[in-house]
Chain A
Amino acid sequence: MASHYLELTDAQTIVTSGFALTQRAVHDCVEMNAIGAVYGGAGVGKTFAVEHASSTAGLKTHRLTFPKQPAITHLTKTMLRELTGIEHHAERFKLTTDLLAVLSEEPRLLVVDEAQQLNADAFDYLRFLHDSPSTRFALLFVGGHGCWRTLSRHRMLLSRIFRSVAVQSLSEDEVVELLPRFHPVHAGASIENLLWVNDEFAQGNFRCWSAFTQTVATLCASHRVATYTHELAQAALALLPSWQANVA
């Protein structure tokens, strides 16, 4: 199972529209051995949603992260190391042949994180591996907004994307509806406090909400209360860096 940001205890998995669409997209891609893309701003929950979906996909999943504009040899070696667990040393043609053989062995899901860092050659190489009739794998590109911009620039990939999900920040309505179910510390919080924290700090961003929840839950525990008041929320935000920066 996927783990929550900061290993937050007592947190529940919340089914947002982005989360639900990601589950569906990943399962469809796995079913069809197709290519998909999940993109959105930092901290909106796309990695968590993809991890959750891949953990229930029922096949081997490999998470791949490449440096910015990787050389094809580097890409090939990284993939072979991730897929086989050992380092491979050979010329690129042979490495690619080996990689094609490994990718033909069994169905897999390859998740490429930070996909916006890939260049045209890298995308074309992944397209080539996926197009090869012998290989059997679903390919998922995950990344920030730049990810989709990069993908859509390359027609050879765009025409092969079977599912794409843009994961958005939570709206105010979603914050009010979903946060009380996310963690017990929010269950008794007033709507005003939730919206105030969202407005001042979280902006519908799940990673920010996790950081706030972790902090405010610790404060609640030290004050032996189940939920937070406006003062406790203020105290929690004072401990969180970006809020202080905003106030300053």
Chain B
Amino acid sequence: LPEPGLYIVRDPEDLPSRASFLRQLSDPVAGRVVCEIRPGARGKHWVAAAVLEGLGKDIELGTIGRSATRMLERAADWLIGYRVTDLFVSRCQIVTSREWQLLAELSAETNARLWLIVQQEHLRRRQRELTQSWPFTSRSWEAFEKEWSAVAASEPTDEAQPSPNEANFPAIPEDDFTTFLATSRRVIRAPALSRVEEAFNLGRGRIAEALAGGESWQSSLRRLVEEARARDEAITRIRGAQAGAFLEGRWLRLDLRLFGLRWETQVARELTPPLLAALAAFPSAQWSAVAAVSVLTGATPAEVAALPLDSVDDDVIELGGQRWSLPPAAAAFLQAQAATRAREGAELADPLFRSDDRSGGSRQTATPLAGRGAQRILRRIGNLIGLELVERKSEPAREDDETWARRRGLSLRFLEALDG
């Protein structure tokens, strides 16, 4: 028989260091979820909320409804989506044996091992009875800590956490291009400085190529800016381009105010770690998955809405004849959504996404998500996380390069023309 995977961990000492040890185990992408029952918690709703919180979901974001049963189902779908192997629930003494049973059922449904951490000496009678009727194994805190200490000491693999290299481009000086690099070398330390120099040189090289007769300078700058992951990185690239243009006898002018405004409303085109982290906070798998697919593939809302369930295959999604590899966090969004649809009885040819009309959960009553529905989801997510995830009509994706440059305050003149 397989190991039942149900454990009671006794921690009557209840030291702060143990609470932080438990927190270190949390890593949903690596299959470990740590949740804490809030004081005064009672009932299914609170258990579901605790598990969703442990998964990093903000239950105030989006619509998951008020039904405790539905919340618990969502929690189960996410556990399946993240392929969670171990679910740790701290402060289980707060809730009754009925909630313990819910957790045991959740663990059985999702195939995750369940660790109930109890910060008191004695269990209540009903709790004791439950641990006897279910095949729970008892562990002391010391044994538990020994078993998990190597994991707690390891680095979290959660890619949704921005890595310092990718997310935090160094803060740059306010100098214009003439003194930008010199000041940067004075105020920014290695290794951050090398990232600034790299971005600056990239801009200088690209503009030189463009002015030597390659693509238009607007197109070259557009690529430079759109490939940048942070505003400061984009500005550094432009500073380099300004220096490169200057060496070619041109003055590339940048209106920082206009540039800043446009940067804020630029449509996200890359699943960056900060964006993944923001999407991971949504309790609705459908919302996170729609946004991830849209940003990763650049597909229109209608194309995203039309995806069938069988387009998702582990860490790959197929759209428009093309296969896209999903980062693990994004794969979890799609797997969780697939689990939700499977729970509703959807078959492989059925749509991956369904309308949020709450008319019912069965396959027969579920309405497929329409393009406008997907667009509405992307707008609402965008409003909540402060990023544009879908093009607005006034700013079509096909904005030509000249308009793009003008709207961002970029213009190019010959230096000789200034004298005249």
List of A residues within 8 angstroms of B36 by Cβ: 128
Q: Mark B86-102, 1 if CB is under 8 A from A, else 0.
A: 00000000100000000
Please pick, from A125, A127, A155, the residue contacting B13 in the complex, using a CB distance under 8 A: A155
Tell me which residues from 103 to 126 in chain A have a Cβ below 8 Å from any Cβ of chain B: 121, 124-125
- A93 touching B49, Cβ below 8 Å: yes
Chain B residues with CB under 8 Å of A133's CB are 23
* Segment from B38-46, B221-229, B400-408 that makes contact with A: B38-46
Is A220 positioned at the interface, with any CB of B under 8 Å from its CB?
Answer: no
**Complex Cα spacing A92 to B16, Å:** 25
In the complex, how many angstroms separate the beta carbon of B276 from the nearest chain A beta carbon? 20
B40: contacting residue among A121, A127, A131, A160, CB under 8 A: A121
Closest A residue to B66 by CB, please name it: A91
B interface, over-half SS: loop
Q: Decide if B38 touches A128 in the complex (CB within 8 Å).
A: yes
A159 touches which of B15, B58, B94 (Cβ 8 Å): B15
Contact with A along B1-42 (1 / 0, CB 8 A): 000000000001111100100010000000000001011100
Task: Report yes or no: B16 in contact with A131, Cβ–Cβ below 8 A.
Answer: yes
B284 within 8 Å of A (CB atoms) = no
Q: Is the CB of A94 within 8 A of B19?
A: no
B40 A125 Cβ-Cβ under 8 A: yes
> For the complex, what is the distance from the CA of A27 to the CA of B296, rounded to whole Å?
50
CB within 8 A of B16: which of A93, A121, A159?
Answer: A159
Q: How many angstroms from the CA of A94 to the CA of B38 in the assembled complex?
A: 12
Give the chain B neighbours of A125 by CB distance below 8 A: 39-40
Say whether B119 faces chain A, with CB atoms less than 8 Å apart.
yes
Interface residues on A, range: 10 to 19
Give the shortest distance, in Å, between B213 (CB) and chain A (any CB).
54
**Is the C-beta of A23 less than 8 angstroms from some C-beta in chain B?**
no
Interfacial chain A residues near B46, Cβ < 8 Å:
93
* Interface range, B side: 10 to 19
Number of residue pairs A-B, CB distance < 8 angstroms: 36
| Bound Cα distance from A94 to B59, whole angstroms | 9
A72 to B119, CA, bound (A): 20
CB neighbours (8 Å) of B60 from chain A are 94, 97
Contact A72/B39 with A93-B46, A93-B49, A133-B23 known, Cβ cut-off 8 Å: yes
The docked-state distance in angstroms from the alpha carbon of A119 to that of B284 is 37
CB-defined contacts of B40 to chain A, threshold 8 Å: 72, 92, 121, 125
Within 8 Å CB of B45, what residues of A? 93
Of all chain B residues, the one with the shortest Cβ separation from A34 is B16
User: Which of B14, B15, B38, B94 makes the CB contact (< 8 A) with A93?
Assistant: B38
Tell me the residues in window 142-168 of chain B with beta carbons closer than 8 Å to chain A beta carbons: none
In the complex, which residues 156-181 of chain A have their Cβ closer than 8 Å to any Cβ of chain B? Answer: 156, 159-160
Q: Which residue of B lies closest to A125 (CB)?
A: B39
In the complex, chain B residues whose CB is within 8 Å of the CB of A121: 39-40
Nearest Cβ distance between residue A46 and chain B, in whole angstroms? 25
For the complex, is A96 an interface residue (Cβ under 8 Å from B)? yes
Are B13's CB and A96's CB within 8 A? no
Which residues A64-118 have CB closer than 8 A to chain B? Answer: 72, 92-94, 96-97
Q: Which residues of A contact B119 (CB under 8 A)?
A: 156
Inter-subunit contact A128/B39 (CB<8 Å): yes
CB contacts (< 8 Å) of B58 on chain A: these are 97
Residues of B within 8 A of A156 (CB): 14, 119
- CB B191 to nearest CB in A, in angstroms, measures 28
Give Cα distance in the complex from A26 to B345, angstroms.
Answer: 59
Asked whether A160 lies within 8 Å of B23 as measured between CB atoms, the reply is no
B94 partner residues in chain A, CB cutoff 8 A: 124
Least CB distance, B48 to chain A, in whole angstroms: 11
Q: Is the CB of A124 within 8 A of B14?
A: no
Q: B14 contacts A159, CB within 8 Å?
A: yes
Q: Mark B42-85, 1 if CB is under 8 A from A, else 0.
A: 00011001000000001110000000000000000000000000
Q: Which residue of B lies closest to A130 (CB)?
A: B16
Nearest Cβ in chain A — how far from B70, in angstroms? 15
Shortest distance from the beta carbon of A227 to any chain B beta carbon, whole Å = 53
B15 touches A124 (CB 8 A): no
Q: How far is the CA of A124 from the CA of B58 in the complex (A)?
A: 22
Indicate which residue in B12, B13, B39 contacts A124 across the interface (CB closer than 8 Å). B39
Residues from chain B with a CB closer than 8 A to the CB of A72 are 39-40
Name A123's closest neighbour in chain B (CB-CB).
Answer: B39
The chain A residue with its CB closest to the CB of B45 is: A93
Q: Which residues of B are found within 8 Å of A128, using beta-carbon distances?
A: 36, 38-39
Known pairs A128-B38, A159-B15 / 6 extra A-B pairs, C-beta < 8 Å? A72-B40, A93-B59, A97-B58, A97-B60, A125-B39, A155-B13
Binding site for A on B (CB under 8 A): 12-16, 19, 23, 36, 38-40, 45-46, 49, 58-60, 94, 119
What are 25 A-B pairs at a CB distance below 8 A? Answer: A72-B39, A72-B40, A92-B40, A93-B45, A93-B46, A93-B49, A93-B59, A96-B38, A97-B58, A97-B59, A97-B60, A121-B39, A121-B40, A125-B39, A125-B40, A127-B39, A128-B36, A128-B38, A128-B39, A131-B19, A155-B12, A155-B13, A156-B119, A159-B13, A159-B14
Chain A residues with a Cβ under 8 A of chain B:
72, 92-94, 96-97, 121, 124-125, 127-128, 131, 133, 155-156, 159-160
Which 6 pairs show the lowest CB-CB distances between chains A and B? A72-B40, A125-B39, A124-B39, A156-B14, A159-B15, A128-B39
